[in-house]
Amino acid sequence: MMNQEQLMEMILDHYENPRNYGEIETADVVQEGGNPGCGDILRVYLEVDSQGVVEEVRFSGEGCMLSQSGASIVLENMRGKSISEIDEIPADIVVEMLGKKMVATRPDCARLGFNTLKKAVKKWQKNQQLANI
């Protein structure tokens, strides 16, 4: 478990050097999310193979340090996971990854990346259902 100082260093590092940042031109799903109150905007891009496994995941957008680094941290380990695995990840993961204190200060910002990822997964699932009709 990281202490508060280590968490802040990790969050700052992800803000300054975001992982998986950028668009995917050939994305199967592009999902936008945002916090209108503070101006955070995110787009999550998913490329999913025929088996339902995420081949590529990226995000783009702008906003506060917590929303941008939170997206980077949460999305960092999603490549290679199946859509159903991601669908089952509980919202508690954000607290585990960013720390209770950090999430408590600005929960909407901290959870934006995770919530947008979950919406992207739902969108992909819906698209698959429609394609099978």
Please report the pLDDT score of residue 35 as a whole number. 83
Q: What is the pLDDT of residue 4?
A: 83
User: So what's the pLDDT on residue 88?
Assistant: 96
| Domain presence at residue 31 | yes
Amino acid 3: pLDDT: 87
Count of alpha carbons within 13 angstroms of residue 121, beta-carbon side: 21
**pLDDT tens, the chain, 133 aa long:** 678 899 899 999 999 999 999 999 999 999 999 987 788 999 999 999 999 999 999 999 999 999 999 999 999 989 999 999 999 999 999 999 998 988 999 999 999 999 999 999 999 999 999 988 8
The enclosing domain of 48 has a CATH number of 3.90.1010.10
What's the structural domain count of the chain?
1
Q: Are strands 29-35 and 54-62 parallel, antiparallel or unpaired?
A: unpaired
- In a domain, residue 90? The reply is yes
Q: Which pLDDT score is estimated for 85?
A: 97
Rounded Cα–Cα distance for residues 44 and 34 (Å): 11
Structure tokens that stand for 6 in this block: 């280590």
Is 101 within a domain? Answer: yes
Structural domain contains residue 131? no
Residue 73 located in a structural domain:
yes
Residue 133 lies in a domain: no
Q: Are 94 and 103 in contact (CB under 8 A)?
A: yes
List the helix and strand counts (H, then E) for the chain: 6, 3
pTM for the predicted model, two decimal places: 0.94
Q: What's the domain range around 97?
A: 4-125
Does residue 110 form part of some domain? yes
Query: Token digits for 94?
Result: 């954000």
Given CA atoms 113, 74, 83, 91 in this order, what sign does their dihedral have? negative
pLDDT for 1 equals 67
Sheet with 40-48, strands from edge to edge, namely 29-35, 40-48, 54-62
State residue 132's pLDDT score. 83
Q: Give me the pLDDT at residue 102, please.
A: 87
132 in a structural domain: no
Contact 49, 55 (CB under 8 A): yes
pLDDT of residue 76: 93
